Structure 1
Amino acid sequence: MKNLNQKRFLPIEEADAFIVLRHAINDPAQRLHYHDYWELLLFQNSETATCIIGNSITKINHDTALFLLPPGTLHGWCTGHNTPSTAGIVKQVIFQQDLFGDCMLNKNQFFHIRKLFQAGINSIRFSNNSAQNALVAIQLLEKENDFKGLLILLKLLSTVSLQKQWEILNDNSETMMQNLQNNTNQVNKVMDYLNTHFKEEISLKKMSCIMNMSEATLARFFKMQTGKCFTDLLIEKRISYAIKLLIESNDPIHEIAYQSGFNQVTHFNRLFKAQTGFSPKMYKQFLLSSKTA
């Protein structure tokens, strides 16, 4: 399925610092694609939409939603069958990779923006409050494409970086370790084990024995470090891996379920839909329809 990663050549010139594009949420031309630019992706009045970014599928459950995508990230969106034609819009603020070079970002005044881009390598979903603030800024950007617009973009990035309310969408073991509050050998051991063995038959009791920790201590650890209980984190990691397989392989759904650590396809289907709003079959069909993009 690698041929689904359709590269999109956007109308941004080398001399442009940024461009702003606007689409109807149910525009059939918007399929999965990637490009060589950073992108701020804003959904407005789009509660029926589902956003696909890398291996992550996110339901838009607010009137606004804001994402930051690094260059080369596969992304797109789709809506429910009953979405009215007058429903929401999507705005893309696309800017060059070298717009903020290392020379600038390494200055003290750019500390928070630098941290934002470092986290953004794995794609970010911002809080609803950040999305609301971005809505106003991006409306201004649609009218200002000169130096004033560049200052607006810089202020927007600064604002969301200072709020620090974001979710990493395509986290990996290394990034998760960097985000932990207490980077001790024991923490490394716990998280490395989960990241390595999530496809196996695993339980909190089994992990507590391997880590020589009580179940209660280990449960508190997961809640404190990730904000999620062990079971939810395990399911999330398995679903994320299943999405990766759906994107990258032609394996049948029942094989993907087993490869992701699920023993029953019906259980996998139910959890997948609960997490994403799609059944695995519907998501696969969406990918196949994107071949013509």
Structure 2
Amino acid sequence: MKLHLLDRSTKLNNTSFSIRNHCYPNFLKIWHYHPELELVLTLKSSGTRFIGDNIEQFNVNEIILIGKNLPHMWLNDKEYFEENSKLMAQAIAIHFKEDFAGNTFFNMPEMNAIKKLFDNAQYGVRFFGDLSLVIKRIKKLENLKGFDKTVSFFKILNLLANHQEYKLLSSMGFVNSFKKTGRTNLAEVYEYIIKNFKNRITLEDVANIACMNPTAFSRVFKRVNRKTFSEYLNEVRIGYACKLLMEEKYNISEICFESGFNNISNFNRQFKKTTNYSPTEYIKAHLRGS
């Protein structure tokens, strides 16, 4: 899963932001980033969403805001890739530069809430709760033109900026490291982890990728992420296990090994440590809508 820089500059010719309604048999299976912010409304399909080091299940009517240069990918469930599948994946994606309204526009006191929204976007933001008005306005946006389109987009941003129910997705350690290192050193380590977390990964493996000895790598990784490499890897695996538990397609033993753990007792221990639930309790909480 090589990280790709996607050039979307041509889509912003003669417009301050672009809006596209994508409808395909499955979403683009590319781990990528771009200098534009991206607002995504998923209309059809389900699967796994990767944003930075965050791994979660996605479904319909989900709204996500992604900051500039934050790696991401929507990976549809395997049913979408079957030869005779009639399933479709559809989403509305809006791309825009952070300064699309000018270099100083968002420095006005009246824009403080939207400026904070853009700051939060660097981690990726998932909004939840009552989003019916935002969804309605995003769907209408692509049919508007000129001034009306721009004003409507500002209203959407303002609604999201003042929406109180949201979750930041990627960790500060991931975001900061990616900013500092670009596509080398720790950024390549994160790519490797996301690609291989289901398999056995040793400290020596990732230290070699970062071109460090294991002791130096451990020290740097813990300073940046405020957790050890093994703790970080376990959290990624548990995030994926949570996604599988919510899908209710596999039993707990199968999920243990599918997520990269090699024994049930360690899986249960790490799951409890990360989520404060046992896998069984997590399923019950999910069914309650907790």
TM-score calculated relative to the size of structure 2: 0.60
Query: In the superposition, relative to structure 1, how do residues 67 and 270 fare at CA in structure 2: closer, same or farther (>3 Å)?
Result: closer
- For 1:66, which of 63, 78, 88 is the aligned residue? 63
**Match of 2:117?**
116
Any idea what the Cα deviations from partners look like across 1:56-99, whole Å, max 9, x if unmatched? 112114x3111111111211211112245344411110112311
SS in 2 for 1:167: strand
Runs of 5+ unmatched residues, structure 1:
176-241, 282-293
1:106 offset after TM fit, Å? 1.9
Larger RCO (CA within 8 A; separation ≥ 6): 1
Question: What residue ranges of structure 2 are gaps of 5+ in the alignment?
Answer: 176-188, 207-228, 245-254, 261-290
Counterparts of 2:70 and 2:236, CA distance in 1: 26
Distance 1:135 1:69, change over 3 A: same
Aligned to 1:41: 40
**Distance in 1 separating the partners of 2:69 and 2:192:** 18
Distance in 2 of aligned mates of 1:69 and 1:59: 16
The answer for the alignment partner of 1:105 in structure 2 is 106
User: Residues 59-98 of structure 1: matches in 2 within 5 Å?
Assistant: 59-61=57-59, 63-83=60-80, 84-98=85-99
Q: Is the 8 A contact 1:42 1:91 kept in 2?
A: yes
Alignment CA distance shift 1:35-1:271 (3 Å)? closer
Structure 2 residue 275 is the aligned partner of structure 1 residue 275:
no
Which string of whole-angstrom CA distances, capped at 9 and with x for unpartnered residues, describes residues 9-32 of structure 1? 224134311111222364364422
Q: Is the 8 A contact 2:26 2:88 kept in 1?
A: no
2:286 maps to none
Partner of 2:224: none
Give me the whole-angstrom Cα distance separating, in 1, the residues matched to 2:202 and 2:151: 46
Number of residue pairs matched?
209
Alpha-carbon RMSD across the aligned residues, in angstroms, is: 3.6
Q: Distance in 1 between matches of 2:102 and 2:174?
A: 24
Q: Residue 244 of structure 1: CA displacement?
A: 5.4
* Counterpart Cα distance in 2 of 1:34 and 1:109: 30
**Which one-letter code corresponds to 1:76 in the other structure?**
M
Cα deviations by residue, 1:137-169 (Å, 9 ceiling, x for unpaired): 121111124221111110001001111221111
Q: Identical aligned pairs, as a percentage?
A: 19
> In 2, are the aligned partners of 1:65 and 1:128 still within 8 Å (CA)?
no
